[in-house]
Structure 1
Amino acid sequence: MNTDSIYLGQKATLTASGCAGTVTWSTGQTAASIQVSPTTQTFYSAFCTSAFGCVGVKDSLKVLVRKAIVPKASPTTICAGDSSVLTVAGCTGGTLTWNNGGVGTRIVVKPNVTTQYSVTCTQGTLGTSQPVLVTVNVNATPTVPVLTANPQNVKTGESVTLAATGCSGTITWAHGKTGASITETLTKTTVFAAFCTSTQGCKSPTASVTAGVDSPIPIVNATPNELCEGQSLTLKVSGCSATGTYEWRNASDQLVNSTSTYTLTVTGNQTLKVVCKDSAGTSQPRIVSLKVAN
């Protein structure tokens, strides 16, 4: 007895050969070839009747009905580097084998480009089905935007323009703003970050740029700056931020004072420098020159 298999809903063509008379099927049909659409496993038989009315021996075959397997991808479209879950229904009691080596009704894939996956179902006497395909579409990850700050350094309270190039989609800044160009007022040196979102919703890696705030150069009151040998002088400095500190250094770059007021005795021509140190960093030095009068 021969065996054939079809998917549920399909038709099987049954053919009888070697009969010079009339073929009669168990379905009641009389023809050498008939089509049937069984919904479950079904046995069919046929016999041949000659022109003289003689009936031959019956022959039979079995048609197995396989339910079609239905693979699905969720989501069907992803960004490169993301995952999609592939599931299959319809392989009751069987084994599902995927072309990427996966086994089972559920596998997770992470393709970097659009990829087509196939799966087969092996069920006992039904054998192995034809492969069924499912596609995962992959959208590319945008390139990392290039960020610039103009000017790169400003004074406290001044503005800087941040720009992002190389993005054909939408730029989103880490502090919530969007746009390829934004303006920010700075009170301290700040690192700004942004990423690009493509029209397909895929996000690039994050880029960053630093916009600096220069510490204010101190203002020194050094009057008079020409004194007699051994005379004392009190230097007063201002202009640093409220949280800042001062550093006085001599010509040898030695730290000689750390307050806003510095009293010294003149023992010869001297050059001093003072800087402001605050959250923005260290300012440019203010140079103070003291001379001994002749």
Structure 2
Amino acid sequence: MDTCEVPAPTIYAERDSTCSGQPVLLWATGCDGKVEWTNGLTGDTIVSRPATTRIYTAFCVKGDCRSTGSNEINVIVPFPDIPVLNASSRTVCAGGSAVLTASGCPGEVVWSNGSRGREITVRPAQTTSYTAICRMGNQSVSTLNCISCFASPLEIKVADSIHPVLISSRRSICANDTFSLRVAACPGTVRWADASDLTASSRLVKPAATTTYQAFCKVGDCDFATNLVSVRVGPAPIPVITAGRTEVCAGEKIKVSASGCDGPVTWSDGQTGSEIMFSPETTSEIKARCGQGDCQSEFSAPMTFTVNPLPPTPLVRNRQNECPYITLDLMLTLQQTPRTEGGRYEFRTAASAGSPEVVHPGIARAGTYYVFEKSAAGCHSDAAAVTITIKECMAPVPVCAYFPGSVSVKADSTAGLLRLTAELGGSASRGAWATSGSGAFGAADSTYTTYIPSVSDYARGSVTLTFLTDDPDGEGPCEGVADSMSLPVHSAGTGVATTPIPPRDSTSVNNQNLPGGLFPVTSNPAEIFIPEGFSPNGDGINDRFVLGNVPDEINVSLEVYNRWGQLVHQENDYKGDWDGKGNRNVAGGGKKELADGTYFYMIRLSDGREFVKFLTITH
């Protein structure tokens, strides 16, 4: 094509350098035709995103004529040098620290743990890898926060923790006594805190005064401390003796304990040990003393035990029912009243005073039962066995007719629901709850359950709850019994449910429920929450990179870079909805899902705050 007489345009750029993939505005003047650029774009104004340093020129095309090239503009794309990482030590002890340094970065070093600077100190709790990037510039025209590739990871290992144990043969000694100390679970070299020249794992000591000991286990460059052991030197302490009670029944054994003694305990009845079983035959006292090496303490203050006699065995006789009744009252088997003052009879299912009591002794069925007399002091007699025989009756009276059932209901209210209790008596053994409303029971057939009022219950303002016992004899003359209560329920404002309980139940509730299963969260508005990572896999859990506690008046901008320093996502008015897809041209253009891995981000708030750190994406 002939150049003709079309004048060449003059071109300009908003900046002469930019980071890889960042936009650069270029424009041309002096062309009254179409401007064609060497990067293939057309127009008086274009936006280019160079990946590397690039020279731009333009031509003015008018009809079939084309001008000569314009002036050249060189847009430099700097690539910050990747920092080289080093550590003062690649292995640290538990709780120890290492100094990490980064060289070769002329700008700011940002570490994967969020720290900044060419030198940082880390105290990893476990073996950890660190990396860093080099960030150039401060948003000037010449450089615009260009990011280097990630540095090669630097692993700091944490030595396995050792937990050596210091064991003493004695915790208290008399003056001039000798005892031994031993360090266990030490795979290295032992060092004693009070005798650094000793390396043996065990030793004999003879302290003149109460002393606290400790040792260290050295493994490599790490020292691991043992527990502290304090050994008391002085007279043996007088023990303190205790027991659950001081009144016992004849033949009963009671546990007696001695405390405050680290050595052997000797009792006045000849037993040894910190706990003994004492069985006095008559009212007696017992005391103890503490041994400490070759010396012993004085006896403790005595503890006196009163022995109460056992009641005599009850006099009973076997009995048979009398028709038309098909049960028998066990009280009819007794030949006399209790023979101890304040005593009473107990009927049990086995010949042991610890066996279960007969639930309803007034309506006993056929079988063998055991009668005890229990004194006012709580002592049981020996058991007396009695056998009940039940003969058949032509026209028996149902048990429920002379032993009717009973039920009493009560309620309290907490956490937006009613807690219900039905207390059964007589022949009643089970039943079920019913409601006049449409709420839900936790378990309608349980004597202890819950009831959650429905919306219509609240609209009516009250609900009646009833417990009805089962019919005890089917088609017989007896019927189930019931007890009811009417409870007012009403709404006390948005989201607040109030259920006052009548005075007989003496409990009320005012419980606030938040919609949608939300819970109130209180935090400092100045603290912005930024997640360490997220998993945009579409499962509805942690799918977005959501910032927390951002005030409404604050504007947020977000930039995300991959490990090679390329800008892969950018939003100038970020609303917390990033789903892990890049919106910048990285390789071939278009918005696409980013690969799993570690990325570097910069978050800037309109109030001047800036957050620079690494994040992890996991699909």
TM-score of the two chains, using structure 2 as the length reference: 0.25
Greater RCO, 1 or 2 (C-alpha within 8 Å, sep 6+)? 1
Structure showing the higher strand proportion among its residues: 1
TM-score when normalising by structure 1: 0.48
